[in-house]
Amino acid sequence: TLSWTVDIYNPATGEDFVLGLKEITLPDGVTRPYSVWLSGNYPRALDGLTRILSLDMRVMDPAWIGMKLRKLLDYPEPLGDFMAFVPGTRRQQNWPSTVAYLAQLIIHRYAMLGVLDERGYPTREMGILESPRDDNEPKLMQGALCNECGNHTVIRKDGCDFCTACGAVGTCG
């Protein structure tokens, strides 16, 4: 198996450890991480995070792990923010926590392999997960509450209230 490792040091918390990603080459020739591990002086609470992320990495659609990692990018830690290099550059940035920095490093590795872009979005849509909408796109309007099925899918159709989920017809006029 292939592996990618990087040293992480957070002087604010005294954490000094290694992040490792085990990788596999799939039958279609794409190499993807399938497991994440830590070694050294790190909070043991991160063991649970690495186990969950390792399971998430095994989901076929890379949009899933991209979504999970993007959610961790802003994860704050009390007195845990620190300066570290932005992966792939010689520029430093303030990171809100060790967890946020781990997430960015993993996204960077996925980007190096061509699976995700540097923002954590898939480079190739698989169609399993719905791709996130751009913030500039108009929001979908939610319908009124249907008394029959409980969904917010009641619209006005031909002068009557009509539920697009169950077909119930409400008041007209």
- Tell whether 98 and 170 lie within a shared domain: no
- Nearest partner of 61 among 129, 119, 112, judged by Cα: 129
Q: Report how far residue 106's alpha carbon sits from residue 104's, in angstroms, rounded to the nearest whole number.
A: 5
Quick check: is 136 in a domain? no
pTM of the model: 0.73
For residues 7 and 31, is the Cβ–Cβ distance under 8 A? Answer: no
Q: Report how far residue 126's alpha carbon sits from residue 128's, in angstroms, rounded to the nearest whole number.
A: 6
Q: What percent of the chain has pLDDT over 70?
A: 91
What is the tens place of the pLDDT at every residue in 141-160?
Answer: 678 888 888 888 899 888 89
pLDDT for position 2: 86
- Tell whether 7 and 52 lie within a shared domain: yes
- Sequence-ordered list of residues with C-beta below 8 angstroms from that of 97, at least 6 positions apart, any chain: 75, 76, 77, 80, 81
Mean pLDDT across 52-64: 93
pLDDT for position 127: 65
- Tell whether 105 and 145 lie within a shared domain: no
Last residue of a domain, one of 93, 112, 131: 112
Work out the mean pLDDT of the chain and round it to a whole number: 88
Query: Is residue 131 pLDDT above 80, yes or no?
Result: no
pLDDT for position 135: 63
- Tell whether 19 and 79 lie within a shared domain: yes
Mean pLDDT across 62-69: 94
pLDDT for position 143: 82
Query: Is residue 62 pLDDT above 80, yes or no?
Result: yes
Name the pLDDT band for 132 (thresholds 50, 70, 90).
Answer: low
pLDDT for position 77: 85
Other Cβ atoms closer than 10 A to 96: 15
Which residues constitute the domain of residue 52?
A: 2-112
pLDDT for position 36: 97
- Tell whether 94 and 168 lie within a shared domain: no
Quick check: is 91 in a domain? yes
